[in-house]
């Protein structure tokens, strides 16, 4: 079996065995749901409800605040209790709509497109936009914007990112096994927006059952092929994936569309299916709850807006005191300081570990071994960049192509001196991105 891959990368312990074999469990929401108005990249959504209003499941409660924005919908029926700033996973306070769940689950009427194969591209994009679909792998980029490139006829590949290379995460794996038809039809819907697009389902070869199933389901359809990827982190990083599957390279100043590609992850493509075929807005998602500190690692289908604390409680709580709780995976997720914060459209996982390897390590001086350079998928020199970042040398950071870093964490992972390379590079990148935005 030919395997597609990129240059660099690492093989961390994958931890997927903990949760991969358990079917997705649906969860009911608790008493209070919190919907931050910024769950996506771009302008915050604007509330269209007021305190005291009754809302229904699937009702739009905040409209898009601009073209690069996304509406927010209620995932329960109930009453708007407040519109106020609430703490989110990042620790920031974000204006949010708080809904008291009446547990009636009364729903608005959905308006699907009767036959999407006869719909225009604009009608399909509008359905995706109105459903509030954003990149659910963590980026939160409004999907209708991604699917509206300047020159649609130049898009040649729609790549379904089924790599799920982040250790411990298994939500995409379960979705592929349990709802492959939605994934494939969602991919076909996206392909229909581009006259010359070929579909690729890119799956790491540590999921042979998914590869077999998707191949079987797409047999006889020459417009889609399943490409097995070598299992290696960060195989699912956008630039690495585009290179692995098409041989094309992009840099930090380019969009995938500049290389004729559109990349969407599994959950996002299924959300497109829900939006178009069922008229259903984005109000639920799959979240992996895992780690050696949780009672029963598995995947949950959750109503967006429920708190991480409720999610953990539904799983039976901690069996051991966690030393570290992470929102997302161990490589690209971030440490959480409390669980009383809401899940959002971009919540992928709750990972609780009894041992925090990173904080137990004391960094020492660089020994110039070059391992960080060998594994870097961005083809930069992490040791040099981290020195520039630590000294506030912005010019040097840009000269050594610091913006090409995808913040994957591979360099920190292999560094024998335990230097916090990714952390310092990330801070400098954040500063530079803010400057770029200002310009």
Binding site for ligand SF4 (CB under 6 A): 366-372, 375-378, 380, 382-383, 405-411, 414-417, 419, 421-422, 425
Closer CB to ligand SF4, residue 318 or residue 400? 400
Would you say 44 or 382 has its CB closer to ligand SF4? Answer: 382
Closer to ligand SF4 by CB, 108 or 366: give it.
Answer: 366
Distance in Å, CB of 256 to ligand SF4, minimum: 17
Distance of CA 110 to the CA centre of its chain: 26
Q: Are strands 157-162 and 72-73 parallel, antiparallel or unpaired?
A: unpaired
85 versus 370: smaller Cβ distance to ligand SF4: 370
Burial call 10-45: b when 16+ CB within 10 Å, e when fewer:
bebebbbebbbeeebeebebbebbbbbbbbbbbbbb
Q: Which is nearer to ligand SF4, 219 or 368 (CB)?
A: 368
- Angle, in degrees to the nearest 10, between helices 382-390 and 421-438: 70
Nearer CB in complex with ligand SF4: 133/237: 237
Percent composition of the chain: helix, strand, coil (DSSP 3-state, to 5) = 30, 20, 50
Quote the least distance from Cβ 397 to ligand SF4, whole Å. Answer: 11
Per DSSP, 296 falls in state S
- Would you say 61 or 421 has its CB closer to ligand SF4? 421
* C-beta of 7 vs 367, nearer to ligand SF4: 367
Helix (H) or strand (E) run with residue 314 in it = helix 308-314
Place of tokens 């597609």: 4
Phi–psi pair at 50, nearest 5 degrees: -130, 165
Q: How far is the CB of 414 from ligand SF4 (least distance, A)?
A: 6
Q: Looking at the DSSP assignment, which residues form a beta bridge with residue 265? A: 161
CB 154 within 8 A of CB 140: no
Q: Is the dihedral of CA 295, 298, 301, 302 positive or negative?
A: positive
Alpha carbon of 40 to those of 177, 211, 263, 278, 342: distances in Å?
Answer: 27, 31, 17, 23, 14
Rounded CA gap, 331 and 413, in Å? 9
Helix (H, G, I), strand (E, B) or coil at 89: coil
Q: Cβ contacts of residue 157 below 8 Å, gap of 6+?
A: 197, 198, 199, 200, 245, 246, 260, 261, 262
> In this complex, which beta carbon is closest to ligand SF4, that of residue 37 or of residue 380?
380
Q: Which is nearer to ligand SF4, 203 or 410 (CB)?
A: 410
Report, in Å, the least distance between residue 338 CB and ligand SF4: 27
Name the strand (E) or helix (H) holding 55.
strand 54-55
Q: Are 47 and 97 in contact (CB under 8 A)?
A: yes
Question: Whose Cβ is closer to ligand SF4: residue 193's or residue 380's?
Answer: 380
Closest distance to ligand SF4 from the beta carbon of 378 (Å): 4
Query: How many CB atoms are located within 10 Å of the residue 253 CB?
Result: 9
Whether the upstream peptide bond of residue 29 has omega within 30° of 0, thus cis, is: no
Task: Give least dist CB 383 to ligand SF4, A.
Answer: 4
Report the nearest approach of ligand SF4 to the CB of residue 370 (Å): 5
Smallest separation (angstroms) from ligand SF4 to the CB of 376: 3
Instruction: Name which of 101, 277, 257, 249 is nearest 185 in CA terms.
Output: 277
Of 208, 402, 229, 240, give the one whose Cα is nearest residue 331.
Answer: 240
Q: Smallest gap, in angstroms, from Cβ of residue 275 to ligand SF4?
A: 33
Shortest Å distance, C-beta 168 to ligand SF4: 19
Q: In the bound complex, what is the minimum distance in angstroms from residue 430's beta carbon to ligand SF4?
A: 13
SS3 state of residue 413: helix
């Amino acid at each position: 079996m030919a395997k597609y891959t990129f240059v660099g990368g690492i093989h961390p312990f994958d931890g997927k065995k903990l949760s991969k074999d358990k079917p997705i469990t649906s969860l009911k929401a608790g008493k209070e749901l919190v919907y931050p108005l910024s769950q996506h990249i771009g302008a915050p959504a604007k509330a269209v409800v007021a305190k005291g209003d009754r809302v229904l499941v699937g009702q739009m409660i905040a409209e898009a605040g601009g073209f690069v924005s996304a509406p927010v919908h209620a995932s329960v029926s109930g009453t708007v209790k407040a519109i106020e700033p609430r703490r989110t996973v990042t620790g920031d306070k974000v204006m949010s709509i708080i809904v008291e769940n009446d547990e009636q689950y009364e729903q608005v009427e959905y308006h699907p497109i009767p036959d999407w194969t006869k719909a225009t591209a604009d009608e399909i994009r509008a359905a995706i936009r109105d459903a509030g679909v954003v990149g659910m792998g963590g980026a939160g980029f409004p999907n209708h914007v991604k699917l509206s490139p300047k020159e649609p006829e130049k898009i040649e590949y729609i790549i379904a990112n089924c790599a799920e290379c982040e250790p411990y995460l298994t939500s995409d794996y379960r979705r592929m096994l349990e709802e492959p038809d939605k994934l494939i039809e969602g991919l076909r819907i996206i392909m229909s927006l581009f006259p010359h697009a070929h579909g690729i389902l890119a799956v790491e070869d540590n999921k042979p059952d998914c590869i077999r199933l998707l191949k079987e389901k797409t047999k006889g359809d020459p417009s889609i092929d399943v490409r097995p990827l070598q299992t290696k982190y960060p195989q699912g990083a956008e630039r690495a994936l585009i290179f692995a599957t098409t041989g094309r390279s992009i840099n930090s100043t380019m969009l995938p569309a500049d290389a004729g590609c559109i990349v969407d992850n599994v959950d996002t493509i299924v959300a497109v299916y829900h939006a178009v075929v069922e008229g259903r807005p984005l109000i639920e998602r799959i979240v992996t709850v895992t780690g050696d500190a949780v009672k029963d690692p598995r995947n949950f289908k959750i109503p967006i807006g429920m708190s991480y604390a409720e999610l953990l409680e539904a799983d039976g709580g901690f069996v051991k005191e966690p030393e570290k709780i992470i929102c997302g995976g161990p490589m690209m997720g971030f440490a959480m300081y409390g669980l009383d914060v809401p899940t959002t459209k971009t919540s992928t996982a709750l990972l609780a570990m009894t041992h925090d390897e990173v904080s137990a390590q004391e960094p020492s001086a660089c020994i110039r071994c070059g391992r960080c350079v060998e594994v870097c998928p961005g083809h930069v020199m992490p040791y040099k960049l981290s020195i520039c970042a630590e000294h506030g040398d912005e010019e040097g950071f840009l000269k050594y192509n610091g913006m090409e870093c995808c913040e994957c964490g591979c360099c920190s992972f292999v560094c024998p001196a335990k230097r916090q390379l990714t952390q310092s590079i990330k801070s400098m990148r954040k500063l530079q991105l803010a400057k770029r935005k200002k310009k």
